[in-house]
Amino acid sequence: MIAMPTLVLASASPRRAEILRNIGWPFEAVAADIDESRFAHEDAPAYVTRVARAKAEEVRLRVPGATIVAADTVVVVDGEILGKPRDEEDARRMLRLLQGRSHEVLTGVTVFNGSTVEPRTAHEVTEVTFAEMNEDEVEWYVSSGEPMDKAGAYAIQGLGARFIKGIKGEYSNVVGLPVRLLYELISSGPVFKGACPGAPPIASRD
């Protein structure tokens, strides 16, 4: 039997917490307090991995010695990085951009083992295809409030599921925490202290 290390989830996201609960991974949540502004000319993989690492480093200062996990998720369409909408009009704009086509969801993940200095960081990419949406559907969805705290202004696990035509890649990545990548980052490092021999080296998948 593989003993899962108890994690400190550097996030206030109820969706990431729910993922860990659903897979039976013990954790406690400690929200990270950082500036998540994107640097000029910073692409999506660089942005999500940098922010994930910054979240982990900030929480590590408050919970020294713990196994810290942090993540950051964005949506990318036509080269534009979509984070959380600023307001309802921004949510409408995002949904109009996404409807009737495919886009990518990227999540950067960082794992800090309390006994090591350097974190392990990688990112996952999933392709999501939206069905076409008419204006009544856009208005209904925005008025539900669900888009307002979600990258790309939708939740694949919520009301937004009715507008998803298909995905290519890991579902949990779209929700906000790619489970397989997290497991690989931890099991191939020193956190398990040899409990998972033979795990392959990690490379970001896109």
Q: pLDDT tens digit string along 69-120? A: 999 999 999 999 999 999 999 999 999 999 999 999 999 999 998 766 688 9
- Taking phi over 0 as left and psi of -120 to 50 as alpha, with beta for the rest, 102 belongs to beta
- Could you confirm whether 72 is annotated as catalytic? yes
Catalytic residue among 35, 43, 72, 87: 72
Distances (CA, A) of 170 to 5, 69, 123, 151, 192: 23, 18, 12, 16, 24
**Whole-number pLDDT of residue 183:** 93
The span from the CA of 160 to the CA of 74, in Å, is 16
The span from the CA of 121 to the CA of 204, in Å, is 9
Distances (CA, A) of 177 to 10, 45, 92, 181: 12, 15, 25, 9
**Whole-number pLDDT of residue 118:** 80
Residue segments in the chain with a per-residue pLDDT below the cut of 50: 191-203
The span from the CA of 10 to the CA of 55, in Å, is 6
**Whole-number pLDDT of residue 195:** 38
Element (H, E) at 19: helix 14-22
Q: What tokens were used for 7?
A: 């994690």
